[in-house]
Each structure stands twice: as C-alpha cells, then as structure tokens.
DNA sequence: TCAGACTCCTCCTTTACCTCA
DNA sequence: GTTGAGGTAAAGGAGGAGTCT
C-alpha cells in the first residue's frame, strides 16, 4: 500500500532524513491513509513494543520516531477527552447533589415548622422520631444512609461514570 | 547484596507550523 | 492578503524501570 498518495503540502517528507541533523524542524502532515492506519493500530493497542513500532513505520513509510510520537500525542488526546468527560460527569454529580441538598433543606424546614405547631406531648425526643416523611420508611439511625455514600456521590445518585474507549 | 551508571520508555509541557474561518 | 484560533507534529526534560558492572 502506498501511504504517500493523496498527501497535502509537506506530507510524507517525514521519512526523509533532511532534518536528521536537528537543524531544521519541518512540519509534516500525515496523510489520511496514514492517520487511519495509525488509528486502527491504536484501537488494538495504545502502546507499542519496538517490533510493532518498526513494523508500523515500515508499513507507513515513516520513521519509527514519528510513529512513537504519534502514539504519544494520541494517548495525550485520549486523556484530554477523558478529562473532559470526567469533568462533565462531576458537573452532573454536583448539580444532582445541589438539587438533593435543596430538597433536604426544604424538608427540614417543613419538619421544623411541623414541630413548632405540635402540642407539647407530641414533641418526642429525636431518637424516637425515626420515620422519614419523604420516603415513609422507619429507620433506627437517621445518619447511617448518608454516611454510606458520602464518599461516593455517584453511587448515591446512581450515575454511571462514562469511559472513553480507545 | 547493594549502589551507581547507563539505557530505554512514557508522560508532560512547550514550541513551531499548518489550516481554516 | 492578513490575522487569530485551533489542531497537531515534534522537541526536550523529568522520572521510573530494567540491566550491567
């Protein structure tokens, strides 16, 4: 396969050795075929062993260093994308928690209002008042459920963490 | 067995260049 | 034709792991 077909501008001069001395730093553009082939390889393995690197370089008519650098940059791009996805995910978590907090604050206010309205004999100690008015479940420890998920808001909110696949 | 030198590899940051609106 | 932003190939340095003496 000829990977130098259809190149734009300075593509495919990477295999030349005119910048081997380090004096010039030519910017080349990989051809679509080369990029596509590298992408396919990246899907199979995100890092290369020396044999794979050499084989790829030979196949694409590039220097091994170029293949290496391409994989380096590709891993960086993947990581950046994953960071963006993680950021979105955390934003959603934050929004959900804010909403949950708002709801609980409101509920607390309602409970306080209810308490001031009730006659004295109805005002039992807090430890015996264990029914949650929102879910109508009876519990013995009101702080237990919150403590279980305090370090994992996602688990508490049932939000699946998204993952970028190579 | 341990320490130091060396090599190789990956990651991260920066630079330089290309493309496009 | 010029310019600025965004994308990306490439360079260079830091640090970790493996090998050798």
- The Cα A59–Cα A69 span in angstroms is 16
Query: What is the residue range of A119's domain?
Result: 83-142
pLDDT in tens, A109-125: 999 998 887 765 565 55
In a domain, A78, yes or no: no
| Model confidence pTM above 0.75 | no
Q: Is the CB of A31 under 7 A from strand C?
A: no
CA distance A85 to A126: 43
State phi, psi for A138 to the nearest 5 degrees.
-95, 130
Task: Provide the CA A9 distance to its chain's centre, in angstroms.
Answer: 35
Interatomic distance A2 CA / B7 C1' (Å) = 35
Total domains in the fold of chain A: 1
Q: What is the mean pLDDT of residues A95-102?
A: 95
pLDDT 10s digits, A13-62? 434 333 333 344 566 778 888 888 888 888 888 888 888 888 888 888 88
Residues whose CB falls within 7 A of nucleic chain B? A 8-10, 25-27, 29, 47-48, 50, 68, 72, 75-76, 79
Beta strands in A68-159 (DSSP E): none
| Strand C close residues, chain A 32-71, CB < 7 angstroms | 35, 65-66, 69-70
Residue A68 lies in a domain: no
**Is residue A108 a part of any domain in this protein?**
yes
Asked if the structure places residue A70 within a domain, the reply is: no
Q: What is the pLDDT of residues A1-18, one digit of tens each?
A: 445 433 333 444 434 333
């Amino acid at each position: 396969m000829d990977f130098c077909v259809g190149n734009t501008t300075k593509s495919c001069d990477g295999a030349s050795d005119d910048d081997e001395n380090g004096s010039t730093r030519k910017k080349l553009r990989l051809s679509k075929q080369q990029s596509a082939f590298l992408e396919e390889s990246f899907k199979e393995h995100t890092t290369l062993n020396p044999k794979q690197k050499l084989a790829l370089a030979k196949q694409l008519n590039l220097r091994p260093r170029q293949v290496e650098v391409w994989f380096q940059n590709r891993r960086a791009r993947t990581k950046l994308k994953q960071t963006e996805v993680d950021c979105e995910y955390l934003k959603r978590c934050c929004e959900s928690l804010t909403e949950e907090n708002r709801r609980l604050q409101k509920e607390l206010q309602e409970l306080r209002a209810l308490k001031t309205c009730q006659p004295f004999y109805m005002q039992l100690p807090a430890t015996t008042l264990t029914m949650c008015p929102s879910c109508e479940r009876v519990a013995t420890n009101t702080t237990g459920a919150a403590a279980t998920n305090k370090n994992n808001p996602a688990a508490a909110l049932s939000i699946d963490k998204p993952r970028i696949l190579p």
